[in-house]
Structure 1
Amino acid sequence: MVRAIAALVGAAFVFVLALALFGTVSDRIKNPPAETAAEFVQGRIEATTGSHLLNAGLSSDGVLGKYDRRQLQRGFQVYKEVCSACHSIRLVAFRDLAQIGYTAPEVKAIANQWQIEQPAPNPDTGEASTRKNIPSDHFPLVFANDIAARAANNNAVPPDLSDMTKARHGGANYVYSLVAHGYVKQPTDLVKEFPDIATPKGLYYNQYFANLNIAMPPPLKSDGQVQYADGTRPTVDQMAKDVAAFLSWTAEPNLEARHAAGLAAVIFLMIFCFLAWGAYQNVWRDLKH
């Protein structure tokens, strides 16, 4: 009798939960949440400009992706000659460049010749001073603080690029799209429909930037801006792909190890399942018959 009552109570409880779930789902289908003003404007902007992210087609894409060391070195060259004037990569150490194919002497030379030196107080006077970089140092900050950064960049603070491909939706594709194909003439129809997004003086229209108006001028202005040491033709598109690949590596230098560990885990689980199935067949073979 007690078991029957408990079963009825349990069944009633499950029924009430199912009824509530059905009511919630049904109400969400019949009355979907209203679209916010920001979502409406962004949707209209994307429909008007066609600003869906482009695919950079990097070798690191996919579950088994691997970095192209030559491309990473080209990307570092683009960062060094173009991006490093404003953007830091403070989470990366000079010695980390060995992971993308640079030798120890090359890493030492890059650190020693880097245009910004490490802050180091004078040991005798305690006054502010600097010293040459060494391989164990992280890349120094471009600006000492946000005030200095704003003063040099039209009141905008250039973001650190160490984790940029992790911080932005689309990752490397976002960087590639924004740098190579984002700077276009602002559509007049778009301005007529949304007057508030007209590009003000001192900013630049970029169809892949969040609010369409960005403080950074086009960093890659023309083909040949960077002369690659390996002879690759330095088109704007190629340079954008290469720097996007490099920033993918700065954000996730252990990507290849993670992919290898994941593949090994999948293979192990497949073998384990096969062995478990074989053991099951062997143990229960006589009982089945």
Structure 2
Amino acid sequence: MRIVRLAAAAAALALASPAQAAGPAVPLPQQEWSFGGLFGTFDRASAQRGFLVYKQVCAACHAMKQLAYRNLADIGLSEDEIRAIAAESMIMDGPNDDGEMFERPGRPSDRFRSPFPNERAARAANQGAYPVDLSLIVKARPDGANYLYALLTGYRETPPDGVEPMEGMHYNEYFPGHWIAMAQPLWPDMVDYADGTPATIEQMARDVTTFMAWAAEPELEQRRAMGVRVILFLIVLGGLTYGVKRKIWADLKH
């Protein structure tokens, strides 16, 4: 558990600002995502597995303040599952009748619990870096889904020949400048998937990326469905308008 927490804590240094690294941006491998394209939808099973990865790895340092536990119903979790997940977190509340703050088990209506009470505590635990909130990380980075997946899978144990190692840094093939302060956060079999899916690094990276993409745009599917309906309506309306025009001009000619 300590190793997991240290890896997740170091993630703040990488996710916070990739542009700070020296060197040109590296072209990202393009992945096929279920939510890509005009008719794309979120893979609920993958998003649920991704939430587990976030919960067990990322949540040690990264908040997701824009999400409430009840929002997890959108990726297929039941009310009982959501209540159990929320109750695992102790939420600061109050003041009570005595004017004092107190902790209580989380409720579905609560937002995801932040791992640190304030910014100073977060920076103190992360060598001065402030762990970025992951609620909108996929929207906040260019080509966000592919960037996040590449970052999580781009670690190499040793740099290429001719590249001198940098003390305290880690080589990442797809990070701008290649050297990153974040230690590799994902390792094989780090989490246990209830559905039996093998927890490879690539699978965990894909699942947590899917979850983050959903978190950034939970209304994506509804917006696309509305867009398709609007397009179909405009096509029908255009056809009717053209037909009426033809009829009117035909009558005028006679």
More helix by share: 1
For residue 123 of structure 1, report the CA deviation from its aligned partner. 1.7
Change (3 A) 1:256 1:148: same
Aligned to 1:91: 66
Aligned to 2:221: 256
Residues in 1 aligned to 2:159 and 2:143: alpha-carbon distance in whole angstroms = 22
Deviations 1:126-183 (A, max 9, x none): 3443211000000011112222112212222211100000000111111111011245
Q: Is the aligned partner of 1:123 residue 2:96?
A: yes
Residues in 2 aligned to 1:211 and 1:141: alpha-carbon distance in whole angstroms = 31
Change (3 A) 1:127 1:213: farther
Aligned to 1:226: 191
For structure 2, which runs of at least 5 residues remain unmatched after alignment? 1-18
Change (3 A) 1:122 1:60: same
Structure number with greater Rg is: 1
Change (3 A) 1:211 1:157: farther
Q: Is the aligned partner of 1:105 residue 2:80?
A: yes
Residues in 2 aligned to 1:95 and 1:120: alpha-carbon distance in whole angstroms = 18
Aligned to 1:9: none
1:81-230 alignment runs, 5 A limit: 81-114=56-89, 117-121=90-94, 123-183=96-156, 185-187=158-160, 189=162, 199-201=166-168, 203-221=169-187, 223-230=188-195
Aligned to 1:267: 232
Question: Please, what TM-score do these two structures have when normalized by structure 1?
Answer: 0.75
Aligned to 1:244: 209
For residue 211 of structure 1, report the CA deviation from its aligned partner. 4.8
Aligned to 1:34: none
Q: Secondary structure at the match of 2:185?
A: coil
Structure 1 residue ranges (4+ consecutive) displaced by more than 6 angstroms after TM superposition = none
For residue 125 of structure 1, report the CA deviation from its aligned partner. 4.3
2:53 to 78, 87, 110: 78
CA contact under 8 A between 1:72 and 1:246: conserved in structure 2?
Answer: yes
CA contact under 8 A between 2:155 and 2:170: conserved in structure 1?
Answer: no
Residues in 2 aligned to 1:156 and 1:204: alpha-carbon distance in whole angstroms = 17
Residues in 2 aligned to 1:252 and 1:184: alpha-carbon distance in whole angstroms = 34
Aligned to 1:276: 241
For residue 272 of structure 1, report the CA deviation from its aligned partner. 1.0
Residues in 1 aligned to 2:167 and 2:47: alpha-carbon distance in whole angstroms = 36
- What is the RMSD of the two structures over their aligned residues, measured on CA atoms? 2.1
Aligned to 2:38: 63
1:13-92 alignment runs, 5 A limit: 42-43=23-24, 51-92=26-67
Letter in 2 for 1:55: Q
Letter in 1 for 2:216: A
For structure 1, which runs of at least 5 residues remain unmatched after alignment? 1-37, 192-197
